[in-house]
Each structure stands twice: as structure tokens, then as C-alpha cells.
Structure 1
Amino acid sequence: MKSKVSWIIGGILAFLLFAIAYMPALQVIGRVTLPNNVSVSGVSGTLFSGKAQTLVVNGLSVNNLKWELSPLHMLLGKIKLDLKAGNIRDKNDIAFEGPVTTGLFSQDTINTENFTLYLPVDRVLAQVRLPLPVNAGGRFKVSLNELTFGPACESLDGTGDWLDATVAGTQGPIDFGTYSAKLRCEGKDIGIMVSEPNLLSLSMDAVIPTNMKNIRVSGKFKPDDSLPNEVHQAARLFGAPNSSGYIPIKL
């Protein structure tokens, strides 16, 4: 008797899983209330394997989003999505690739491993309020070996790079090279450590709370002699150099 009941329950679960697997993604998304800062268009495929032409989050558009949803993880009470979007070779595209895992019934915590993200610098800075206008170029690359987040930083192992950094100068774009940072959890906050060598001889440690308030930054920099004079003049706005020629940073 127990064996028959088990087969019946298994058959029902298999049928439901099969029905969900082939459910059109457009029908599902059309019934979901998205946040005001999120919109999606050009949805096709199924819930388990689909794509969207455009995803817009906080004014940043992502093209050619594709996903694969793992049915096995759903049976274990989890949602695992293998995501891919944008064109990694296109410097103007937001692009990312990797797995994201969260709970089926609660999405308070998000996990990922081996996730890579590319962001055009000018599009990111357009969303950030800065004390002075900055016209910068290049790409941010974030490589996450491991991340567990929600609602605060629980574990983080990764790197962040500003590739081909440029800033507009009076005579045209100024090439600042590439800057690399180590990412970590600092308590419940996110820690970012930048180390030399780089053209600014910049070393910096920043701690960023999840609410983006009371950001703490300490470090030092010394512009390379090869950089234009206007860079050296602008550097003096941060203070006077010490005996080693470095200008301290403290926020």
C-alpha cells in the first residue's frame, strides 16, 4: 500500500514538474508584479529555459538575457539560475555570466560562485551622485569566486578591476591604465582594497555599508610623472603631499 502511495505521489510531482518546465516564460512574467525600477521585454522560451531581449534595472539596460532553471534544485527547495547576458567583447554592453542560487520560498539570501560581471564605467557613473562631475571611460570587471549576501555580507571572495581607465582632460581623454581591487566582507559590510602598482600609485581600503551610507575610505596616492600636469594640479585638491610624495586619503 505504501509503495502504491509513493508511486502516486511521485507521479503527481513528476507531472507538476513537467507542466512547470514547459510553461511559457511570458505567461509567468506577465502575472508577476515587478518592482517599479525593473522592466523586462521580448520574453520567449519556457520558465526553465528562456530569454529576454531587454532587462532594465534602475535605468541600466541589459540585452539578450538568457537563463536556465534547475529542476533538481527546485525539488530541494531552492532556485538555481544559470544566467548569461550581453556581449563580453562589447565594451558598451553590460554583460554577465554565472549561476545564482536563492531560496524557493524566501529570497532573502543569494549565493553565487564563479560569476563574472562587466559594466561600462560611463553608464554606472551616470547613476551615481558625485560631488563633482566626472567624465570617465573603460569597464568595470567583477569576478566573484564566492558570494553569500542577504541582507548583509556573509561571505565574499572576489576581485574588481577598472579596465582601460580614462578620464576626460582639457586636451582629451587621459589614460590612467588599469586598477585592481580585492573584495571581501568587512563584518556585515563590503570591503574593497586597491593596491599598487598603478599610474596613480594608489593604495586604498574602503568599507561600504549595504545602505551605501557612512562609507569609510583610507589610503594614499601619488600621480605618476608620465601623467599630464593637470592631473598633478587636481591631485593637490585632496591635500598636500607628505615627505614621500604621497597624498593621503581619509573619508
Structure 2
Amino acid sequence: MKAKILWTCAAVVVFFYFVILYMPASQIIYAQSLPKNINIYGVSGTIWEGKAQAMVIDGIPITNVQWDIAGLPLLIGSLSADITGGNLRDPNDVSFKGSVSVSAFSPEQINSDDFLLFLPVDRILANIQLPLPVDAGGRFRVRLDAFSFGPDCNRMAGHGDWLNATVAGTQGPIDFGNYSAQLSCEGKDIGITVKEPNKLGLSLQAVLSADFEQFSIDGKFKPEDDLPDEVHQAAEIFGKPDKDGYISFSL
């Protein structure tokens, strides 16, 4: 009798194991009430290893999103997954790859120790309220070596780059080269530090609120002499240069 009960229990456990193992991702994801700014299309595979043909977040599309969830961390109440999206080689794609984890004890907090993100500049600027209109091109690259975020900036170590930066000029796009920034937590907010060398002679310290709605910037710049005259003329809007030729600004 005891043996029959044990075999029955074992069979039930195995049954539910395979039900969970092969549970279609579409049944879980489409049953959820997603935020209004997020839409997911073409979900396939299982909840553990699946993909979506596309996601749209705040009007920005991301194609070919894939995930692979590790089972072992679940035993300690942590959801850990390797995720990829977009095409890293396509400059017009929002793309990413890396590992992320979320603890059951702080589900609003996302953690990662290795994450790479590419963002087309024109798409991102189109969704940001700037004090001055900017028609810019190129690609943002963000590499995070340590990251813990939500709802505040708890830990951040990494850097960001503006690759092949261009800004529309009267005679066509103006090449501004590349820019690099160090990323860190500034209290509960995000700190961004840019240093020379770069074509604009730009250095700045920026603080972006954790909800991405407010920012402050303090910096200075001195455009290189070989940049077009219209760049030097536009620089005068920010004020007169100091004795070393730098123009200071705050936003």
C-alpha cells in the first residue's frame, strides 16, 4: 500500500514537472496584464526557453527577443535569465544581450553583472524632451559590468559611448566623432561623467533621476578648430569662452 502511494506521489510530481517544463510561454505572457506602454507579439517556445518576434516599449520596437531561464537559482528565490534582443550589428536596431536576475524578496529590483545595450540615437532622442531640438545620428552603446536598479539606482559600474556621432547642419550631417562616459550611482540617481578628448572638447557631469524624467547637466566645451563655422557660431548661444577658450553651461 505504501509503495503504491509513493509511486502515485512520484507520478504526480513527474507530471507537474513536465507540465511546468513544457508550459507554452504564450499562455503565460498573454494572460498577464502588461503595462500600457509595452506590447509583445509572436511569442513561442516555453516559459523557460522562448522568444518573441517583437516587443514595443514606449513606441520603440525591439525584434527577436529571446530568453533562457536558469532553473537552479529558483531554489533560492531568484529568477535568473540570459536574454538577447535585436541585431547587435544593425545600427538601426535597439539590441541587447546579457544576464539579468530578480529576487523574490525585492521583485522591483533588476540585477546584472554583464549587460550590453545598443540604442539608435535618433529613436531615443525622439522620445526625450530636450531644452533644444537636436537632429542627431549615431549609436549609443552601454556596457554595464555591475548593475542593480529599481526603483532607485543602487549599484552601477560601467560606461556608455556615443559612436559615430552626427548632428544635422545646414550643409548636411556634421561628424562629431565618438564620446565616452562613465556611469555610476549618484545617490539614488544615475551619474554620467564625460571627459575629453573629443571633437567638442566636451567634459560634463550629469545627474539623471531614477525615473528618467528629470536631469541636470554642468559642463564646458571648446569645439575643435576644424569643425564647421556653424558649430562655432552655435556655441556662442551658450555664452562667451573663458581665457582658455572653454564655454561653460548648465541645463
Structure 2 CA distance, aligned partners of 1:122 and 1:213? 19
Is residue 152 of structure 1 aligned with residue 135 of structure 2?
Answer: no
State the TM-score, normalizing by the size of structure 1: 0.93
Structure 1 CA distance, aligned partners of 2:151 and 2:93? 28
Structure 1 residue identity aligned to 2:23: M
Q: 1:42 to 1:241 in 2, by over 3 A?
A: same
Structure 1 CA distance, aligned partners of 2:80 and 2:177? 37
Moved more, 41-50 or 101-110: 101-110
Structure 2 CA distance, aligned partners of 1:141 and 1:9? 52
Percent same amino acid at aligned positions? 52
Cα-to-partner distance string for 1:27-53 (whole Å, 9 max, x where unaligned): 111211101000000111000000000
State the TM-score, normalizing by the size of structure 2: 0.93
Structure 2 CA distance, aligned partners of 1:194 and 1:60? 26
Cα-to-partner distance string for 1:53-99 (whole Å, 9 max, x where unaligned): 00000001000000001111222211112101111110000100001
Name the count of aligned residue pairs: 247
Structure 1 CA distance, aligned partners of 2:227 and 2:8? 74
2:80 — aligned with what?
A: 80
Q: 1:214 to 1:138 in 2, by over 3 A?
A: closer
1:102 — aligned with what?
A: 102
Moved more, 129-138 or 197-206: 129-138
Structure 2 residue identity aligned to 1:142: V
Q: CA deviation at 1:105?
A: 6.2
Q: 1:149 to 1:34 in 2, by over 3 A?
A: same
Structure 2 CA distance, aligned partners of 1:12 and 1:116? 42
Q: CA deviation at 1:9?
A: 8.3
Q: CA deviation at 1:131?
A: 2.6
Structure 2 residue identity aligned to 1:224: E
2:123 — aligned with what?
A: 123
Please list every run of 5 or more consecutive structure 2 residues that lacks an aligned counterpart in the other structure: none
Please provide the CA RMSD for this pair.
2.0
Structure 2 CA distance, aligned partners of 1:86 and 1:213? 26
